[in-house]
A and B are shown apart, each in its own frame.
Chain A
Amino acid sequence: MEKYVTLTDLQLVDLLKKDDSDAFSEIYSRYAVLLVGFTSSKLFDLEDSRDIIHDVFVKLWQERKQLKVDYDLKAYLFKLTRYRIVDKIRKNITRQEYAAMVNSLAVSYGVTTEQEIAAKELAQIIETSLDKLSPRVKEVYLLSREENLSIT
């Protein structure tokens, strides 16, 4: 086990692909604590975090053959974890704590949709105003905007 501590993530993934269970244990001891810190800061039941950690590492083992050698292991593990956290929240949506969380998503979603609409309207206004300009002036404007050329 000792020698695994000094290996890089890439080397560990390489060993994992060759069914090295010690490499697997080293990956666990490197990232499980980070992942449980992440899940428990989002979920209200530590048992749910346990399920997720269990799932994520079982998945890592099952998919080991398909892992690319140059995989960013940490990002991969966090991505798997994030999907499972959202899944847990989704399944527990009737719990008051999660209902409150989802409500705040409704708020931010509402805001961004409004912003998108506003941005679209603005783009339209610019478009129609441009059509009123002479073709040459319009071209100058478009070049300055889109090609970052100076007006002078």
Chain B
Amino acid sequence: MNRHQLVALLDRYVKGETTNEENQLVERWLEENGNRNQVWQSLDQSDKDQWLSSVLSDINSTIHPAEVKVVPLPPTKRWLWQRIAAAAAVVLVVFTLYLQWPYWQSLLHPVQLTVLHAPVNQKQVITLADGSRVWINAGSELRYPKTFNGKIREVYLSGEAYFDIHHDPAKPFIIHTGEVRTTVLGTAFNIKEDENKHTVQVTVTRGKVSVANGRKLLGILIPNQQISFNTLKEEASQATVNAAAVIAWQQSDLYFEDVSFGEAIERLQQHFQVKISFRNEKLKDCRFTGTSAHGEELDKVLRVMCAFNKATYEVKPDGSIVIDGPGCSN
């Protein structure tokens, strides 16, 4: 359905010309979408009361126009009004500074960030202070505070990571990837920065995520939606994708990228809880790249790995495994 048809649908809805099904559709859509960061919610009770009574007096002056009285103020009093206005302006500035205090404070006392760098051949998983989990892909880096003290939770990413954010409506979670800001309350999603292609991609697997470049909102994503932002052209495009495929790197437990046979076997030992040894130590230095799908059997993984490294393996009566072969030329 294109934009033109959507606009026509909304027009018909407003005029009351839609069918029952269309009504339900629009109403369900309205139910599920909207503005999370409402100004209204953040007002306190007296502000709300004041707002409501000012709207009511507007309404009353519209429906009873005759009762509106215009009272001109004498010139001397205008001075007083100006003074009050000036005083109010000062109060407003002070109040605004007070509201933004956490921001100024963060400038004055920068938060100490811990840097977690995933080596080129290994992923890292970390649980942050708030219980959020982050899977950092090989070669990527996450900077995060030991504790989240302010009104927001903020971390910095370069490279690729999958986030499963602990829900906390009072403390939004913001991920900075260069200038791109991804803001969430509690969801799961993937961020991939590609410095060569100058792109940042955000893909959502659960919940809702808003993505902004500086102050400009790029879009609000729901599951299986992806935003690609070109940091050079400052252009964003949105698409529906299979999010499961995007985060496959995080789910495949065994992900080998340019690792030595020795390192790979060490990880297989941990993963499958078996003892594996080399008869020919030279094999340990063979390097290769490969992924093994989540939960795949050890047999299958070993067969592929050994074939690749011109080796064979043998299962001993005690269950341990011995690998043998001539070794690699590299």
Contacts and interface: CB of A to CB of B under 8 A. Distances in A.
B14 interface: yes
Interface residues of B, number: 45
Contacts of A71: none
A28 interface: yes
Interface string B40-74: 11000000100110011011101110000000000
Contact of A112 (B11, B25, B35, B40): B25
Nearest to A39: B40
A33 B52 contact: yes
A105 B29 contact: yes
A42 B9 contact: no
Interface in B210-240: 216-220, 222, 238, 240
Nearest to B62: A58
Interface residues of A, number: 45
A15 B9 CA distance: 38
A82 B27 contact: yes
Interface string A50-75: 10011001100110000000000000
A106 interface: yes
Contact of A57 (B14, B34, B59): B59
Contact of A41 (B26, B35, B59): B35
B80 interface: no
Interface of B is mostly: helix
A99 to B, nearest CB: 8
Contact of A58 (B7, B59, B218): B59
A118 interface: no
Nearest to B36: A41
Contacts of B219: 96, 100, 103
Interface stretch (A84-92, A121-129, A130-138, A142-150): A84-92
Nearest to A95: B217
Interface string B1-13: 1110011011101
A100 B220 CA distance: 6
> Which of B1, B40, B216, B222 has the most chain A CB within a 10 Å cutoff?
B40
A104 interface: yes
B9 A40 contact: no
Contacts of A61: 59, 63
Contacts of A43: 34-35
B1 A106 contact: yes
A32 B52 contact: yes
B28 interface: yes
Contacts of B27: 82
A42 B56 contact: no
A82 B14 CA distance: 9
5 contacts: A40-B40, A43-B34, A62-B63, A87-B10, A96-B217
Interface of B: 1-3, 6-7, 9-11, 13-14, 16, 21, 25-30, 32-35, 38-41, 48, 51-52, 55-56, 58-60, 62-64, 216-220, 222, 238, 240
Given A42-B35, A96-B216, A108-B28, 4 more contacts: A41-B34, A87-B10, A104-B29, A105-B33
Closest 10 CB pairs of A and B: A40-B40, A42-B34, A90-B10, A100-B220, A61-B63, A105-B29, A40-B38, A101-B33, A87-B14, A100-B219
Interface of A: 21, 25, 28-29, 32-33, 36-37, 40-44, 46, 49-50, 53-54, 57-58, 61-62, 82-83, 85-87, 89-90, 93, 96-97, 100-110, 112-113
